[in-house]
Amino acid sequence: MSSLNFGRAVQAALAPAAITGIIGSTPARADIKNYEFQLVQPTVKAGADGIVTVRLVDKTTGKAVPDAVIFATRLDMAPDGMQEMATKVTPMPGTEPGTYRFKANFSMAGRWQLTLGAKVQGETGTVENKLVVEAEK
Ligand SMILES: [Cu+2]
pLDDT digits (tens, 9 = 90+) for 11-62: 545 444 444 444 444 444 569 999 999 999 999 999 999 999 999 999 999 9
CA angle 76, 80, 82 (to 5 degrees): 50
pLDDT > 70? residue 83: yes
Check residues 2 and 124 and name the one with the higher pLDDT. Answer: 124
- Residue 11 CB-density burial (10 A; 0-12 exposed, 13-18 middle, 19+ buried): exposed
Q: How far is the CA of 67 from the centre of ligand 1 (A)?
A: 32
Check residues 6 and 48 and name the one with the higher pLDDT. Answer: 48
pTM of the model: 0.76
User: CA 46 to CA 107: how far, in whole Å?
Assistant: 6
Q: How far is the CA of 74 from the centre of ligand 1 (A)?
A: 14
Q: How far is the CA of 33 from the centre of ligand 1 (A)?
A: 31
Query: What's the pLDDT score for residue 72?
Result: 87
User: CA 84 to CA 75: how far, in whole Å?
Assistant: 10
Q: Please give all residues whose CB falls under 5 A of ion ligand 1, grouped by chain where several chains appear.
A: 77, 82, 85, 108
